Each structure stands twice: as structure tokens, then as C-alpha cells.
Amino acid sequence: MGKFKQGILGSFSGKVGTVTGTYWKGIPVMKGNTVRKRSSMSEGQLQQQAKFKIAAQFVYTMKELLAFSFGRFANTMTGVNSALSYNLKNAVAGDYPDFSIDYSKALVSRGDLVNEGQVSASAGTDQVVFTWTDTAGEGSSSASDRAVLVVYCEALKKAAYTVSEVSRSAGSATIQVPRFKGQVVQTWLAFKQAKGSEVSDSRYTGELTIA
């Protein structure tokens, strides 16, 4: 805040251009006007913000998993941000403001390792059981590849996941999810090399209700 006695124009009051003249204890003073930031957003910006929010709520529940399961496609970003980018572009469905995640199009793992062609999941008491047909040997896949099991509860905004000790050759694996008892969940299956960082694209194995 600047103050003056007699400038080339003398004292003044009120707003003039980018400054305002006033008096403080009888002394003429001049202060810069506050620049008001536009608080309103365009409809396009609001739509993008809403899409980002719903995609972020989903992927941030499994940050530790995505750090490596999307690692190959991270490039200059983190695995989590790579997963966020992918799902924002491919898995957000609906019209503003009623956006949702199309879980059948969402990926929780992305890579070149071969997944299985026939996969399924079923709910038991406090658990989800995944089954698949072993096709080890296709591409870089191996019988020793480890099953990656993922369960997500939208209502609780929580995820449970594990890189199981169960190998591809076993044909089935189970994850315990007691905190999801009575809840509707979404499920995915992927595979990771036992000795290496290669992963497969995840396969969506459906919506279940945990008993």
C-alpha cells in the first residue's frame, strides 16, 4: 500500500484503473485493487473434473499393486498415474454428472504376459475363489507364473489384492476378504512372472456378493 501527500494529480479517492485512493487517519493512501479469480468452471472442465474424481477413487485404492502392475507403461509417470490415465480414458462411462466405472473395461494390470482365455470367480464365505484353464507355454507364459487376485468394493471404496503363491498350473486360487462380508464386489485375475517383472493384462471376472 503506497501513500502520498501531493502528487502530480494530488490526493484522490475511489477506484482509478488498477488502484484505489482512500484516507487512513486523515492521510491519503493508495492501494492496488484485488484481482478476483474466476471461480466458475466451464461445463467441459466440470465434466473432466468429475471423470477424474471417479477414476481416481477407484485406482487409488490399489496403489501398491498398480506401482508394478502398470510399471511397464508408466514411462515418465508412476504406475499409479499410468493406471489412472488408462482407466480415465477407457473405463469411465455415463453422462455428466452421473459418471461411473465400467468395470468390465477397467484394467488393474497391464502387460504382455499371456493371461488365460477361460477365467471365472465365485464368492464363498468371506472369500473369492478364482479359477482358470492352464495354458502355460503360450508366448512368455510359464506354469510357474503367479496368480494376481484383485477384489474391489465400490460401496466401501476399498480393495483387496494379492500376488498369490499359487502358480498358473494350479488352476485356482483363493483370496480372503472378510471385511467385504455382505458387500457387492468387482473381481479381476492377472498373472505375474515368478522370477521377473512381466505381468499380464487383467481379466475381469465379474461382480459378486460376498457371503
Domains of the chain: 2-32 (no CATH), 43-209 (2.60.40.10)
Q: How confident is the model at residue 23 (pLDDT cuts 50, 70, 90)?
A: low
pTM above 0.75, yes or no: yes
Contact criterion met (CB below 8 Å) for 145 and 168:
yes
Give burial (CB, 10 Å; 0-12/13-18/19+) of 89: exposed
Task: Convert the pLDDT of each residue in 48-96 to its tens digit.
Answer: 999 999 999 999 999 999 999 998 887 788 999 999 999 999 999 999 9
What is the pLDDT, as a whole number, of residue 37? 53
pLDDT of 36 over the 60 cut:
no
What is the pLDDT, as a whole number, of residue 12? 54
pLDDT of 153 over the 50 cut:
yes
Contact criterion met (CB below 8 Å) for 147 and 189:
yes
What is the pLDDT, as a whole number, of residue 41? 83
Q: Higher pLDDT residue, 4 or 127?
A: 127
Give burial (CB, 10 Å; 0-12/13-18/19+) of 45: exposed
Task: Convert the pLDDT of each residue in 161-193 to its tens digit.
Answer: 999 999 999 999 999 999 999 999 999 999 999
What is the pLDDT, as a whole number, of residue 8? 46
